[in-house]
Amino acid sequence: MAVQMEVKLSTSRNDATNRPLEGLRIIEVSSFVAAPLGGMTLAQLGADVIRIDPIGGGADINRWPVATDSVSLFWVGLNKAKRSLTVDLRSDRGRELVISLICGAGGSGIVLTNSAIGWLSYESLSARRSDLIHVQIDGMRDGSPAVDYTINAATGFPMVTGPGEWNDPINHVLPAWDVACGLYASTALLSAELRRRSTGEGSQIRVALEDVALATAGNLGYLAEVQVNKVERPRIGNHLYGSLARDFTTGDGRRLMVVALTNRHWRDLQRVTGLADTFTALEGALGVDFSTESARYNHREVITGLLEPWYAERDFSEVAGILSESSVLWSAYRTFGQLLDDHLAKPEDSLLQEIDQPGVGSHFAPGSPISIGPRGMVAQVQRAPALGEDSELILRDYLGMAAGEIDDLLASGVVKGA
């Protein structure tokens, strides 16, 4: 009976065709980016993710950007395809409802959170359910608090971002460690579920933003470079470290990024710009071989200096047409508005679909970037829930509560609907 209820509940708003995680239920108690993104990643693949929020919403319910009526576009963007239950988490009764959804008869047995203290901790919940899968996202490895922007300051990346003559740190606007951490968490959760299905055992999983950032810096060779070569990576502006790539400006003022990673790219770049003989002569004068990435990187300033006039003498459409007929990798710089316009111009080949989001209205939003099945098949985008939209349905179908009991919880303020 529980399975039948689960399928019924998971199809009321999620009717995508590609749902490999159908039947998997997850309780999410979260805020900020990493945990909500991890939950949404799973929800867009068909998992029934129930987001638990305090009455009135959590710390990120009003985070910018916001719509004209103050509904957070940030919040609805990170909570698509989920369900929402709002509970007074300071009350014993409210906490017990959440614990029942996780550990009770027919409970999910899976929780994803970045606020696992006290009653929501692994120790507390696993005492109620031995096969519990508990995924906790931390800031620091020792459990102390941190956010993406404080973690990033300590990673070294702001000290190698920007032009070579710049001395101060430059932060990026993308919460990269949050994004990577959320994806690590979703992968870990699925791994634990596969293990539980074969062994019946639960798992305690912790993923820290600090560790994700450190692992990334190490995996990309940035830490080994300091240890082995005894040098700190320099700032190089918009060049690509170790290879040939940089931005250029066309005659009509457009900017584009051009990348020549391989020898094929390099040969094609010389051919389409008509500078092959010039670069051959330069090789002879410098006594180098530009067929190696290191030589192209070490002499990047003179190479790109010779390329600049070719771009400046042509408008963007001519440059785009020429580069598109070669193997050279390139892309025009775009604003978010231009990005949106370009994708709306080819809706048949875009993740973006129009949704009607409560409090926001009709707008285009992306679905999962994971495509399952024939190439080009895109799952239907499911909107985010309104805060507390599914409260009554969850209490009825998952906890088996009668209408009168649900009415009492609503009247007492323990639970709130949309």
Active site includes 178? yes
The gap between the terminal CA atoms of the chain, to the nearest Å, is 27
For residues 162-167, average pLDDT = 94
**Which ranges in the chain are annotated with CATH 3.30.1540?**
244-332
Q: How far apart are CA 218 and CA 96, in angstroms?
A: 42
**pLDDT of amino acid 9:** 33
Q: Which amino acid is at 57?
A: G
Reported as a pLDDT band with limits 50, 70 and 90, residue 373 is confident
Reading the block at residue 63, the tokens are 């985070």
CATH 3.40.50.10540 residue ranges for the chain: 2-217+378-416
Query: What's the rounded mean pLDDT across residues 372-379?
Result: 72
pLDDT for the residue 376: 61
CA quadruple 330, 332, 333, 337: dihedral sign: negative
In whole angstroms, how far apart are CA 183 and each of 176, 199, 354? Answer: 11, 24, 25
pLDDT interval class at 4 (50, 70, 90): very low
Over residues 319-343, mean pLDDT: 96
Tokens of 147: 């956010």
Q: Indicate the CATH number for domain 244-332.
A: 3.30.1540
Task: Read off the DSSP letter of residue 157.
Answer: G
Q: Are 295 and 242 in contact (CB under 8 A)?
A: no
Q: What are 239-280's pLDDT values in tens digits?
A: 999 999 999 999 999 999 999 999 999 999 999 999 999 999
Q: What is the pLDDT of residues 99-140, one digit of tens each?
A: 999 999 989 999 999 997 899 999 999 999 999 999 999 999
Which of these is catalytic: 88, 178, 268, 390?
178
Rounded CA-CA distance 299/303 in Å is 6
Concatenating the DSSP letter of every residue in 304-324 gives HHHHHHHHHTS-HHHHHHHHH
DSSP, res 174: S
Q: Does residue 303 have a pLDDT over 60?
A: yes
Residue of 35, 236, 49 whose CA lies nearest to 148: 35
Q: Are 267 and 327 in contact (CB under 8 A)?
A: no
CATH T-level assignment (fold) for domain 2-217+378-416: Rossmann fold (3.40.50)
β-bridge partners, 364: 354
Please check the confidence at residue 7 and state whether its pLDDT lies above 80: no
What is the overall mean pLDDT for the chain? Answer: 93
Give the Cα separation of 11 and 348 in Å (integer).
Answer: 25
Per residue in 174-227, pLDDT (tens digit) is: 999 999 999 999 999 999 999 999 999 999 999 999 999 999 999 999 999 999
- Torsion sign across C-alpha atoms 236, 238, 244, 247: negative
